Structure 1
């Protein structure tokens, strides 16, 4: 019995270091402290290589007068900020900027509205129908941009397009042989349908995933108060998922604003350059007009606009966090 008491006393006795002090803490080596930085080093290096170096070269190019003559003679003509001054002083640049903003706003509104409706539909469907709809959304989302654009070119073809044929069969005979790329409004309509079709799956799937995190008790309480579907969305879903809506809207603004392939492939910014957005405008001025310095300056200004939008978004997020506190 006494032996057991002594063993228990030994086990419960505080372990101390030399001289009765606390036990020494294990020393953290320099390698352990630098491990997180070493893990992210490849990603940082790749980002700097692919983005930083490209941005630097593009920035230097925007300060030059570079065209065919300079390329053939291997001459570098530094012009300072003349390209920026000419661009900012051009009425065409501001017209394209305003057009890009309106185009982006219209697309983002449609994407968020249809994406939210589809996401809420996913949350209410049964398992089999939900899986079927998810499969269709994933396939639409995973289709390469060039392939999707080619399909839409076939659909809206003037002579053999399915859209014109269906509208003609439905009694709208004026659409027989209609040229969808013959005017600014019709060309933008085709591009908008294409971009919205490609972007809705991202919003819908993410919204459905986000709704699964909302406690069901909130919806039950709202139902007891007599709230319908619309009232439940405005009083439960939207307030709970407000950060999701802010982040998704911000991402869609960036993706639509910088969209190039869809706009260029449908009609190359035509007719008469009336459907050019800033990325297409920069390409046409740089590659089409063989004024590479001007094209680089326009692309830098496009990035500045996106940075301004990013700053505005971060301001909204910080303000929201302050209000919650």
Structure 2
């Protein structure tokens, strides 16, 4: 009885065949190609969802901006195209440019306050002990996780005219004229309440991001700076700030977008009042479109709002890239 054993590869052709994994195996080239396609396949569901959830509504909004659409057209289900009349009416309106300037100033003030206070809280987190850091982080996360409508409702109660906590505290501290003060009766006081709300909701994001960035700074750099005689401020400017700069740029970019489109807080506090003096562009688009039932005009203002936001962010990114090139 003869026992046959498997013959090992003996020649170059046999070795190549064995390396290829046989007829059912993958070649190295095929495996490399599959590995190169893997990231794109993983991103495909997110891209499809973004196109469906963001791209399609944006396209519909752009098409609507070229239409004369009000309740009459809605009831008759008629499509009346009017070209660029909506854009022409918006761009030649003093109200539009007044609201645009107000929106830019509102965004600038809020972003500066958010970044300064958020950075200070983030640096404080890096210096606290374990349990104090955990307590502060827990409070920040809870503030960050609160829904916008719920947070706005709480602030409406805090700054209420008759039973508000803020007025009660100010009255007890000696400012008796504030006992029955209406915080939504003037432009500045209304913007003050909105700014406090937005800054309070945004600080946790900035603080936690910057605290996470501080954990990536090597301790040896601080030790070397200390040996060179650097004080606290010198260590911050020479070691901490260069490491945090990319995080500051990215976080500022996100906050500009988030504050510029802060519709819910502004509308719920006083619906853009008093006398439409606290309207920013998203609220202005909503009031003109839905409130005045001129949906084409509202859509055109929304498209212009997106264009202005893109221009602002492009200008900011250009400044950031130029500074990075100068540093190199």
The question of a shared fold, defined as TM-score above 0.5 by the shorter chain, is answered with yes
* 1:9-39 deviations in Å (ceiling 9; x for gaps): xxxxxx9733999976634067665443332
Q: 1:104 aligns with which of 103, 107, 117?
A: 107
- SS of the counterpart of 2:276? coil
* Alpha-carbon separation, structure 1, partners of 2:115 and 2:125: 15
- Closer, same or farther in 2 for the Cα pair 1:210/1:16, shift >3 Å? farther
Q: Who is 1:302 aligned against? A: 305
**TM-score under structure 2 length normalisation:** 0.89
The one-character-per-residue Cα deviations of 1:256-293 (angstroms, maximum 9, x if unpaired) are 00000000000000000000000000000000010000
Deviation at 1:320?
4.4
> Residues 204-257 of structure 1, C-alpha deviation per residue, up to 9 Å, x if partnerless?
011011001111122223333443333322222111221111100111011000
Higher mean displacement: 34-43 or 212-221: 34-43
Partner of 1:123: 126
Partner deviation per Cα, 1:50-93 (whole Å, 9 max, x = no partner): 11110110000000010111112222111111111110100100
My pick for the range that moved more, 98-107 or 308-317, is 308-317
Match of 1:254 in 2: 257
Mean Cα displacement is larger for which, 315-324 or 35-44? Answer: 315-324
Q: How many residues align?
A: 312
Q: Which runs of 5+ in 2 are unaligned?
A: 1-9, 21-26
CA distance in 2, matches of 1:132, 1:104: 30
SS at match of 1:163: helix
Corresponding residue number in structure 1 for 2:6 = none
Residue of structure 1 in register with 2:24 after alignment: none
CA deviations 1:98-129 (Å, max 9, x no partner) are 00011101001110111011001101110010
Q: Is 1:165 aligned with 2:160?
A: no
Question: Aligned ranges for residues 124-273 of structure 1 at < 5 Å?
Answer: 124-273=127-276
Aligned to 1:28: 30
The alpha-carbon deviation at position 310 of structure 1 amounts to: 2.8
1:80 counterpart (80, 83, 95): 83
With over 3 angstroms needed to count, the CA separation of the structure-2 counterparts of 1:20 and 1:261, relative to structure 1, is: closer
What value does the CA root-mean-square deviation take over the aligned residues? Answer: 2.2
Q: More displaced, 21-30 or 134-143? A: 21-30
Quick check: 309-318 or 212-221, which moved more?
Answer: 309-318
Alignment-derived partner of residue 3 in structure 1: none
Check if 1:52 corresponds to 2:47.
no
CA gap of 1:218–1:54, structure 2 versus 1, over 3 A, is same
3-state DSSP of counterpart to 2:80: coil
Provide the C-alpha distance between the structure 2 equivalents of 1:36 and 1:225, rounded to a whole number of angstroms.
46
SS in 1 for 2:123: helix
Question: How far apart in 1 are the matches of 2:92 and 2:12?
Answer: 76
